[in-house]
Structure 1
Amino acid sequence: MRRQTAMALAAVFAMSVAGTALAAPANPFVDVPAKHWAYDSINKLAQAGVISGYGDGTYKGDRTLTRYEVATIVAKAMANSEKADAASQKEIDALKAEFGAELNNLGVRVDNLEKNASKVKFTGQIRARYDYQDKADTDIDRTKERTRLRLNMEAPIAENVTFHGRYESQSEWGSSAGSEAKLRQAYINGKLGEVGYSFGRQPIWLGQGMIADITGNCDGLLLSGGNKVKVTAGVFKYNMGIYEDDYANMKNLNYAAANIDATINKNLNMTASYIADKNELNYKTISSGFSYTGIKNFAITGEYGINDSDHANSHNNGDEAKAWFAQLKYRGAQQDKIGSSGIWVGYRSAEKGFDPSELSTLDTGRYADLTYGNMDNIKGMEIGAEYTVFRNGVLSVMYEDLELKDPQAGQNKDKQGLWATLIYSF
């Protein structure tokens, strides 16, 4: 009984108060002198609500606890079991079995589905965005006002296995059109020995984001390994969604991808990436990039890539389509710090055919038409600023001044855009 009591107190103490700085209140129990060897531990347990003593203000530490009193402590350990490490969880499971009858009498269900359900963590993000693009195309609305909801889910489903999900809905302001929620992500990740895996509908991010930064609709398997040099490789199928009716040759393609992410030192990160569709029709792309934070308050990012697919060759007289981008950012808005801010300036250049399916957005442009892709047949600069207006709420404004690298006859080559976005998370 003494061992079981010690196990229960140790488990609760570790999860409830370990690492917590508590002020030194008045003596919690009149029969526990301040110089007693257990005073600090008893004080912390009392402050954490694990023990409450008796009605007369005493602790009665020399008295043997009843099974019901130990069961009360076990119940508190169960209520905080998500904080437990593997060893503590094993102890809690043993205590649940030992004191099952007492726990049930106390109204604590040992094997309750509600507890399992509570392990699902929900977070979300609302994005309200207005943008204006100045271009001559009369069949494309120059302004867009949209609200997007993302509902994220995360839940442990086994040891070293976690589920991730995302439902997403977007519609124009004042309209419910297109607001149907769609499952953008539903995947598990975990480890088998030293090899990590990610399986299901998941985001795909390669390098610094220039050749792929897709947030969803990618169904496949990725394997990874390494620490300072992390190597990732896998296959997936991608549904473009918005262009699938008009560009059937670019939808639902099977892709192979690989990525090397190397931490050179605390300030320098280098990447090398590859992506290709099954028959190398639209993508046979390699890239190399870097990010550098060695200058105080500044971050520099850049990437260069080559696409040697059939599609790229057909638009460049048999040669590859080349592209690069660079960005310089000063400071940055932090979601949890009101008043924090950042500014950035960037430049991009991409030959025709480099990114025909718009696998890259660089977190900027609006999907409007393939003529003005974010990394396809485009060049020019962008400048932006961001500011945390309230906790978990970031406002950003960006201006783009781009033009087509290879305009067709009679086609307006200029593209200016203004973007104002408020993103708040919960």
Structure 2
Amino acid sequence: MKRQTAMALAAVFALSVAGTALAAPANPFVDVPAKHWAYDAINKLAQAGVISGYGDGTYQGNKTLTRYEVATIVAKAMANSDKADAATQKEIDALKAEFGAELNNLGVRVDNLEKNSSKVKFTGTIRARYDYQDKADTTDPDIDRTRERTRLRLNMEAPIAENVTFHGRYESQSDWGSSSGSEAKLTQAYIDGNVGAVGYSFGRQPIWLGQGLIADITGNCDGLVLSGGNKVKVAAGVFKYDTGIEADSNYNFAVANIDATVNRNLNMTASYIADKNELYYKTVSAGFAYTGIKNFALSGEYGINDSYNANSYNNGDEAKAWFAQLKYRGAQQDKIGSSGMWVGYRSAEKGFDPAEITTLDTGRYADTTYGNLDNIKGMELGVEYTVFKNGVLSVMYEDLDLKDPQAGQKKDKSGLWATLIYSF
């Protein structure tokens, strides 16, 4: 194969793969004059590391290449194939097949290069939070009502096959000045994709239902969820989750969700969650999100838990809950100086959410003593501001009451949260 022929083919994909936009360096080859028709292409290929010439500093463009020399060029292009477009990748695949034997003899395993061409993408968030809250279970003035914590979340994402993507997350949290409790935990490890018109997610995954009233778990839910639809999206699944209510509390749950886009400003949802024996959860909800007023977002949801536990707490009746929130603008991670504020109200009867399946990661609920949506009522006010790119500071004040305080408990449960979250 003539060197010009090989380089003409290499240039087709290597220029796209390398994507170089560097200033032209000094002539890398003594036998390629600056006025040569291929001078710019050869320079770019040399910068990208696709070609290196010979040891004497020559390019020898008129020399016939051996198959091993072509295989070396192919191997270097394969190493950069993560930058290739679809057409270029097709060229590379054809060359891999043609020179597979030579690549293996050179110690370049084609299967390993294929795996490396789809690199794992790592992202993460750090959350530093200070909070103060009244303790409803004590009136002792010496009890420390403050807490400072830092949390790290390291996220992973990688395509592993056509229409199949892996998602993972390790996270750790501990009090300021202490390593206690900072053990890294695998909270997400799942794949998602689709088979025809049916989407799926399988493994340790987050579960979000409706507007977040009855479930917004960020991880540790091991199971399978199937979904489908466009303007009306339907999802159903099963998973196992440690509720923490009892010593052996790894309960099996079933969930279902309908998410309907009524128009570009209105979204409606209907949701369901229940544990296997309907002991703690047999909950349905209906919610909405509306963005038809400029710079404002209004959301709300109403739910009923008709489980055995909820009935026992409410004289044979269901436990009911609802929330509403009005938000103005919002801090954007990539826009320094952007800001937002919100006001919200929530009310939940005892037994509605005993295992705190509605977590405190929505930015909407922050109570950590007696459950986010269990035996509580009151309002909250919050503001947020992007202090630097990918760094958002938020401050929230809650004025809450226990709906049904027991003996020795205070009714008031006010609190203050200051949180800085930055991403990388």
Q: Using structure 1 for the length normalisation, give the TM-score.
A: 0.82
Matches of 2:46 and 2:342 in 1, distance apart?
A: 47
In structure 2, what is the equivalent of residue 94 of structure 1?
Answer: 94
Matches of 1:62 and 1:189 in 2, distance apart?
A: 51
Does residue 148 in structure 1 map to residue 151 in structure 2? yes
In structure 2, what is the equivalent of residue 233 of structure 1?
Answer: 236
SS in 1 for 2:174: strand
Q: What is the Cα deviation at residue 224 of structure 1? A: 0.8
Residues 384 and 394 of structure 2 are in contact (CA less than 8 Å); yes or no, is this contact kept in structure 1? yes
Q: What is the Cα deviation at residue 47 of structure 1? A: 11
CA deviations 1:124-183 (Å, max 9, x no partner) are 211111100023433875211111111111222222211111111111111111111111
Does residue 321 in structure 1 map to residue 324 in structure 2? no
Does residue 174 in structure 1 map to residue 182 in structure 2? no
Residues 392 and 424 of structure 1 are in contact (CA less than 8 Å); yes or no, is this contact kept in structure 2? yes
Matches of 1:71 and 1:174 in 2, distance apart?
A: 55
Q: What is the Cα deviation at residue 409 of structure 1? A: 4.2
The aligned amino acid for 1:327 is Q
SS in 1 for 2:158: strand
SS in 1 for 2:414: strand
SS in 2 for 1:414: coil
Matches of 1:95 and 1:73 in 2, distance apart?
A: 10
Report matched runs for 1:27-426 at 5 Å.
Answer: 31=35, 49=48, 74-75=74-75, 77-84=77-84, 88-100=88-100, 110-112=110-112, 116=116, 119-138=119-138, 141-241=144-244, 243-245=245-247, 251-361=249-359, 362-366=362-366, 368-369=368-369, 372-426=370-424
Unaligned runs of 5+ in 2: 28-32
SS in 2 for 1:403: strand
Unaligned runs of 5+ in 1: none
In structure 1, what is the equivalent of residue 30 of structure 2?
Answer: none
Matches of 2:415 and 2:17 in 1, distance apart?
A: 51
The aligned amino acid for 1:210 is L
Matches of 2:45 and 2:391 in 1, distance apart?
A: 37
Q: What is the Cα deviation at residue 317 of structure 1? A: 2.3
Residues 150 and 166 of structure 1 are in contact (CA less than 8 Å); yes or no, is this contact kept in structure 2? yes
Q: Using structure 2 for the length normalisation, give the TM-score.
A: 0.83
What is the aligned residue count?
Answer: 411
- Distance 1:244-1:174 versus aligned 2 partners, 3 A rule: farther
Q: What is the Cα deviation at residue 367 of structure 1? A: 6.2
Residues 8 and 70 of structure 1 are in contact (CA less than 8 Å); yes or no, is this contact kept in structure 2? no
Matches of 1:76 and 1:261 in 2, distance apart?
A: 47
Q: What is the Cα deviation at residue 84 of structure 1? A: 4.4
- Distance 1:197-1:108 versus aligned 2 partners, 3 A rule: same
Residues 15 and 45 of structure 2 are in contact (CA less than 8 Å); yes or no, is this contact kept in structure 1? no
SS in 2 for 1:78: helix
**Identity across the alignment (%):** 77
Greater mean deviation of Cα atoms: 287-296 or 270-279: 287-296
Matches of 2:293 and 2:70 in 1, distance apart?
A: 56
Matches of 2:317 and 2:396 in 1, distance apart?
A: 34
